[in-house]
Chains A and B, each alone.
Chain A
Amino acid sequence: MNMSTSNNIAQARKLVEQLRIEAGFERIKVSKAAADLMSYCEQHARSDPLLVGVPTSENPFKDKKPCIIL
């Protein structure tokens, strides 16, 4: 056997090994995964300032004083 075929075999072997690992992965159903995603978002929604907003008094980016026309 010459070098290139033995290299190809080594590469192919590696690929099969990798694919075996990936195939053996324990998967869950999308319906369960989606339900988990939704409940996670629900749980954390209250603490997400970009979802619930920040009270004006605590918002450092809101203008504090009214505009004055000089």
Chain B
Amino acid sequence: MACQGLQKGETLASLKKESESLKKKLEEERGKLNDEHGVTLPCTWVMACAYAPSGCAVACGGLDNKCSVVPLSLDRNENLAAKKKPVAMHTNYVSGCSFTNSDMQLLTSSGDGTCALWDVESGQLLQSFHGHTADVLSLDLAPSETGNTFVSGGCDMKANVWDMRSGQNIQSFESHESDINCVNCVFYPDPFVGSPQCRFYDLRADREVAVYQKDSIIFGASSVDFSLSGRLLFAGYNDYTINVWDVLKGNRVSILFGHENRISRVRVSPDGTALCSASWDNSLRIWA
């Protein structure tokens, strides 16, 4: 016989029963560990997502021309998709979204060439921002101490700074050779970066103050983010690498290899200890 002898009191049937109940328990316990929530959008590409400042909701949007807000819940059995509420309505894809300083207002950028500020509760359009002459690809809010402004970058090779309350375009930068894929605002005095060559503009001086480029870099950068102090700039490129630049000295500090396809987004964690990169190779990597 290939198996060990049964111990006293056990039968084949009781062992089988025990194994079934243990398997069930294992699945249950494993299920508790899975804290991912998937919410499906009725469109092929989700291009933008953002956490609400309280961490209680998430906004997402893309080719469905809308940006919807989903309240988060720790209850695994809750159907999150059912609670999804469309807030922003554009006439073309939504490329970027960000909550303002509260959970109540959402800022969106769209392929229809405009940015818009929405009231989350009512879905009402509070302010629209016209001025770009082509798709707007990215937006970023200024840190709250510097007032109510945000910057947007678009296919018209312009990066515009807007006053959120009046809808007025305050500043505009146009020294790009191609589309601006990502804009990022880090701090007072508010420099921000546009790509593919990464350019650094100081908003108070109203001009470009640095360019981060190397002859060996021939592919465009799709996404940038600053480290906590603003000293390091992480840029994800279409050649599957992430270059780390010293913002003040202008030289490249490091290259991060690992992805097997182009980088779509990079983001530094809120506590500044790690960098996350997303790629067309279907993976998210954390660098720490």
* Contact yes or no, A59 B205, CB < 8 A: no
Please tell me if A50 contacts chain B, counting CB pairs below 8 Å. Answer: yes
Q: How far is the CB of A47 from chain B (nearest CB, A)?
A: 6
A22 in contact with B275 given A34-B209, A44-B229, A44-B230 (CB within 8 Å): no
Specify which chain A residues have a CB less than 8 angstroms from the CB of B230 in the assembled complex.
37, 40-41, 44
Of residues 175 through 213 on chain B, the ones whose CB sits less than 8 Å from some CB of chain A are 187-189, 191, 202, 204-207, 209
Specify which chain B residues have a CB less than 8 angstroms from the CB of A32 in the assembled complex.
205
Residue of B nearest to A44 (CB): B229
Give 1 or 0 for each of B214-236: 1 = CB within 8 Å of chain A CB: 00000000000001111110000
Q: How far is the CA of A22 from the CA of B169 in the complex (A)?
A: 8
* Contact yes or no, B205 A48, CB < 8 A: no
Q: How far is the CA of A25 from the CA of B204 in the complex (A)?
A: 9
* Contact yes or no, A33 B205, CB < 8 A: yes
Specify which chain A residues have a CB less than 8 angstroms from the CB of B170 in the assembled complex.
21-22, 25
* Dominant secondary structure of chain A at its interface with chain B: helix
Specify which chain A residues have a CB less than 8 angstroms from the CB of B273 in the assembled complex.
49-50, 54
A51 in contact with B189 given A28-B205, A41-B248 (CB within 8 Å): no
Specify which chain A residues have a CB less than 8 angstroms from the CB of B228 in the assembled complex.
44, 47-50
Q: How far is the CA of A63 from the CA of B149 in the complex (A)?
A: 43
Please tell me if B264 contacts chain A, counting CB pairs below 8 Å. Answer: no
Please tell me if B120 contacts chain A, counting CB pairs below 8 Å. Answer: no
Q: How far is the CA of A28 from the CA of B171 in the complex (A)?
A: 14
16 other contacts beyond A47-B229, A49-B272, A51-B232, with CB at 8 A cut-off? A18-B169, A27-B207, A32-B205, A36-B188, A36-B189, A40-B187, A40-B230, A41-B230, A44-B230, A48-B228, A48-B229, A48-B232, A48-B272, A50-B272, A51-B229, A61-B286
